[in-house]
A and B are shown apart, each in its own frame.
Chain A
Amino acid sequence: MNTSPAIKTNIELTKRRTSVIRRFAIRRVAGTATIFGLLAAIESIAQSIGIILAYPDPAARAKVIYGLASNPALGLFYGNMHTDIISPGGYMAYRIMPIMILVLSIWAMLFITKMLRGQEENGNWELLLSGRSSARNSTTDIIMGSGVGLVIIFTLTALALIIGGHSSRFAMPIGGSLIYSLLLATGALIGVAVGALTSQLASTRRKAVIYGLTIIIFMFAIRSIGNAVAGLNWIKNLSLFGWLDKVNPYNNAPVYGWLWLTLAVTILVIGLVIWLSGRRDMGSSLIADQDTSKPKLSLLNSQLGFSFKQLRNIFIGWLIASLSFVAVIVSIDKTVAKTITGSGGLTKTFSNLTGNPYARIEVAYLSAAGYFIVITLIFMIAASLGHIRNEESSGRIDNFIAGGISRLKWLTSRLGVIMIATGSIYLLASLIDYFLAKAQGIDVGFNDLIFGGINILGPVAFILGLGLLIYGILPRHLNTIIYAVVGWSFTIDIIAAALKLNSYFADSSIFKHMALVPAATPDWHTFEVLIGLALLMSVTGIWLFNRRDLVLE
């Protein structure tokens, strides 16, 4: 049968429009996929090379690793025990793979919910599609487009491991490296499936993210409990992450079956999502939304109150993150200390981190909690600054400016709220740190920990100041630059933990300029310099913001 020319052009138009969406998704995914691919590659390589450099002698290495692996608490974050664990690849799969899979799945979930539910929520699809393409097609295209991100992650990790692990000293088998990289990409694919699913369920991106995080963290927790609690080993079978754990890519006999099974289930879920997306209307969600609610007016009366209302979710998220990090780290302090006391390499890693080679190992380990507090605070600040920029780029700030609220008041209200939140999270996390240490009978001074620890807020303040400066000069690039600085510091730290870096490089990490108490003594001079720079940059940034044009998207 012949199709009429008019219908043909219509069909062609539809095709072109859908490929527009796919290309859009690819463009969006490529950048962050590259960053996360590099992060995964560097972190993996650093772990495998690091352990070989720290313990060149296989016997010593075996002693430390088996010591670690025998500690059930570490199973919460570390991987599966298997026979080839002391090879560089085996150690890497044990030590870092589960966390990397978790991180990649959360990244992919955040990305896909933004692309699916986020774009739909903003009404962008309607513009792009103007009724010519179905929700099913656009969902398929976004997922296919995002698949390119997974290929990027796979390729970067595989290349890094094959090149980095080919020397005879490391001898990482290529087959193992390919499977390891595929496992990481599968982690991201799980995130895609979860995010795509919750994007169908939830009516807003925020809800889709909350549902998605709940599913992912629940699956990871099941895996972790199965790993850590001897009698409950079987519950790993209930979690996709548990399945991936069992593959043991660098083992003599990897269990590929679990990998194929995970891929099959994930792809099945994605198929289900695509089917579901075709069964609902654009803009609607499967879990009906409560559109009306009792007015809550109490936080709408002042800039300060409204800033808090808007930033609240960011704060709560990072508060929970930092408290749980600190709680997990500190509560296993004693057991970790017991395991690694007397083994030179890891003790050295911790003393590198804290900068004090003489600290007792349990104190050194405890001090590492400060590192996590700083990281969560910095991410919280980056997210809050991103929010501030978003209020401007969306034009929502106009409602205030036109109403006679000064830019200064608008910005400082938000900064005030951010600073109070930062202080509160620091204080709460440090108190948890202190009391959990005390509960285990670790001797730490209250003042040393709580007041000495304030010095770790130096880098946090620095990032806030830098963020404000960029906001004043290059508002469009705020997010990119801040995440680049944090990512750079992070990478430098990871590399510095494994290799000796020249001090010029090592010092370029902002994390380098703080003393992790109580192991190290605070360097208040550095702190003062950081605060001084932060103040200078903040004042300059705010002044410039006050004078520049407001910049829309």
Chain B
Amino acid sequence: MVTIEIQKLTKKYGSFKALDNLSLSINQGEIFGYLGPNGSGKTTTIRLMLGMIKPTAGTIKINGYDAQTQKQLAHRHIAYVPGESNLWPFLTGEETLHLLAKVHGQCDTKYRQQLIKQFDLLPGKKVRTYSKGNKQKIALIAALASRADVLIMDEPTAGLDPLMEQVFRQAIREAHLNGQTVFLSSHILDEVEALCDRVALLRSGRIERTGSLEELRGLSALKIEAGFKTTPPDISKIEGVSHINVSGNHLSCEVRGSMEELLAVLSKAKPISLLSREPSLEELFVSMYETLEPELA
């Protein structure tokens, strides 16, 4: 079942297109990673989902309800964690959690207590005195404890230390087991790699790629490194091979598509070492935005 359905979404600020004809669908129970460099439109997408801003064109449906015209119904089962939590400085942590629970209309108080402990939060203090990370924890605890069907998070772990990052990942996995849908916008590729079933890569308001990590890796080049006793063979004419780098008896390259021909040439030259490696999400990300860079100009 589709939980979030985005169709041909465009958002213009003046003549600037923050989002350009973007379509996306997220299934129920999925942890969906939303990746993109600064200013690519992640926050804009989320604010559109939440009905805080209006699309120039296109629609968003959440659980079948239109996020613009049926806001109440669409947002009834959502919890949202902003990247920079904007809370009321004069309330204490505990008061804030109480207020947010009232807003959500539901709260698993036992789970909340457990989260407060796991996140190591002192709820009696005024929000004003909390560090950035601690403020973020309040927003996270409120959202997780609501057990909302859909969790929408915009770089939710900004400011969390590595220990808390682990607690967060654990909580998200738990949400996943409960069948909750998670929309996770993030910069932390490691986090996305560890948590997400599927990801979308966003650039300048357009989705460049969507798919599972395996699929994305399939689209991307495989890294090959090989060592020889003598000069490495010439592989520049083989289809799909790029980034060839020869230093002494050592060769490295990338290959897309079928590897048959490359392997044949390499093995004929009797390599003494051969290493092939899948790219990490980080390499995917970097290489993708690097190669696409010229278009940006």
Q: Are A300 and B86 in contact (CB under 8 A)?
A: no
CA distance A432 to B90 in the complex (A): 33
CA distance A292 to B94 in the complex (A): 10
B125 CB-CB contact with A under 8 Å? yes
Q: Are A548 and B126 in contact (CB under 8 A)?
A: no
The answer, among B54, B72, B87, B94, for a CB contact under 8 Å with A399, is B87
Residues 42-60 of B, flagged 1 when their CB comes within 8 A of A and 0 if not, give 0000010011111000000
Give the shortest distance, in Å, between A284 (CB) and chain B (any CB).
11
Q: Are A549 and B52 in contact (CB under 8 A)?
A: yes
Known A396-B87, A549-B53; judge A204-B128 contact (CB<8 A): yes
Cβ contacts under 8 Å, B98 to chain A: 295, 297, 300
List the interface of chain B (C-beta within 8 A of A). Answer: 47, 50-54, 71-72, 75-76, 78-80, 82, 84, 86-92, 94-95, 98-100, 102-105, 124-126, 128-129, 152
A-B contact pairs, 25 of them (CB 8 A): A121-B89, A121-B128, A204-B128, A206-B90, A291-B125, A292-B125, A295-B92, A295-B98, A297-B98, A394-B86, A396-B86, A396-B87, A398-B50, A398-B86, A399-B80, A399-B86, A402-B50, A403-B100, A403-B105, A404-B76, A404-B103, A404-B105, A547-B54, A548-B54, A549-B53
A536 CB-CB contact with B under 8 Å? no
Cβ contacts under 8 Å, A232 to chain B: none
- 11 more A-B residue pairs beyond the given contacts A403-B78, A549-B54, with a C-beta to C-beta distance below 8 A: A206-B90, A292-B126, A295-B92, A295-B95, A297-B95, A302-B102, A395-B84, A395-B86, A396-B86, A404-B103, A550-B47
Q: Are A301 and B78 in contact (CB under 8 A)?
A: no
Cβ contacts under 8 Å, B126 to chain A: 291-293
How many A residues have CB within 8 A of the partner chain? Answer: 31
Q: Which of A536-553 contact B (CB under 8 A)?
A: 547-550
Give the shortest distance, in Å, between B182 (CB) and chain A (any CB).
15
A401 CB-CB contact with B under 8 Å? yes
Q: Are B103 and A405 in contact (CB under 8 A)?
A: yes
Q: Are B75 and A404 in contact (CB under 8 A)?
A: yes
Residues 219-256 of A, flagged 1 when their CB comes within 8 A of B and 0 if not, give 00000000000000000000000000000000000000
CA distance A292 to B128 in the complex (A): 11
Q: Are B92 and A292 in contact (CB under 8 A)?
A: yes
Cβ contacts under 8 Å, B100 to chain A: 399, 403
Q: Which of A263-302 contact B (CB under 8 A)?
A: 289, 291-293, 295-297, 300-302
Q: Which of A391-417 contact B (CB under 8 A)?
A: 394-396, 398-406
Known A295-B92, A296-B95, A406-B72; judge A400-B53 contact (CB<8 A): no
Q: Are B80 and A306 in contact (CB under 8 A)?
A: no
User: Smallest CB-CB separation from A302: which chain B residue?
Assistant: B102
CA distance A549 to B87 in the complex (A): 20
CA distance A549 to B55 in the complex (A): 9
Count chain A CB atoms within 10 A of each CB in B76, B84, B102 and give the residue with the most: B102
CA distance A548 to B87 in the complex (A): 23
List the interface of chain A (C-beta within 8 A of B). Answer: 121, 204, 206, 289, 291-293, 295-297, 300-302, 306, 310, 394-396, 398-406, 547-550
* Cβ-Cβ contact count across A and B, 8 Å cutoff: 90
Q: Are B52 and A550 in contact (CB under 8 A)?
A: yes
Q: Are B82 and A398 in contact (CB under 8 A)?
A: yes
CA distance A206 to B50 in the complex (A): 32
Interface of A, helix, strand, loop or mixed by DSSP: loop
The answer, among B51, B87, B104, for a CB contact under 8 Å with A401, is B51
Cβ contacts under 8 Å, A549 to chain B: 52-54
CA distance A547 to B53 in the complex (A): 9
Q: Are A395 and B82 in contact (CB under 8 A)?
A: yes
Q: Are A401 and B52 in contact (CB under 8 A)?
A: yes
User: Smallest CB-CB separation from B83: which chain A residue?
Assistant: A395
The answer, among A206, A292, A399, A548, for a CB contact under 8 Å with B103, is A399
User: Smallest CB-CB separation from B122: which chain A residue?
Assistant: A292
User: Smallest CB-CB separation from A403: which chain B residue?
Assistant: B103
Cβ contacts under 8 Å, A292 to chain B: 92, 124-126
Q: Are A406 and B71 in contact (CB under 8 A)?
A: yes
Give the shortest distance, in Å, between A322 (CB) and chain B (any CB).
25
Cβ contacts under 8 Å, A395 to chain B: 82, 84, 86
Cβ contacts under 8 Å, A547 to chain B: 54
CA distance A400 to B125 in the complex (A): 22
CA distance A293 to B94 in the complex (A): 10
Q: Are B75 and A402 in contact (CB under 8 A)?
A: yes
Cβ contacts under 8 Å, B128 to chain A: 121, 204
Give the shortest distance, in Å, between A188 (CB) and chain B (any CB).
29
Known A291-B125, A549-B54, A550-B52; judge A402-B99 contact (CB<8 A): no
Cβ contacts under 8 Å, A293 to chain B: 92, 124, 126
CA distance A398 to B78 in the complex (A): 12
Cβ contacts under 8 Å, B94 to chain A: 295
Count chain B CB atoms within 10 A of each CB in A292, A302, A406 and give the residue with the most: A292
Give the shortest distance, in Å, between B120 (CB) and chain A (any CB).
16
Cβ contacts under 8 Å, B51 to chain A: 401
Count chain B CB atoms within 10 A of each CB in A300, A396, A402, A405 and give the residue with the most: A402
CA distance A459 to B159 in the complex (A): 48
Q: Are A404 and B78 in contact (CB under 8 A)?
A: yes
Cβ contacts under 8 Å, B82 to chain A: 395, 398
Cβ contacts under 8 Å, B92 to chain A: 292-293, 295
4 A-B pairs with least C-beta separation: A402-B80, A403-B103, A395-B86, A549-B53
User: Smallest CB-CB separation from A402: which chain B residue?
Assistant: B80
Cβ contacts under 8 Å, A300 to chain B: 91, 95, 98-99, 102
User: Smallest CB-CB separation from B52: which chain A residue?
Assistant: A550
CA distance A405 to B126 in the complex (A): 25
CA distance A291 to B80 in the complex (A): 27
CA distance A404 to B52 in the complex (A): 11
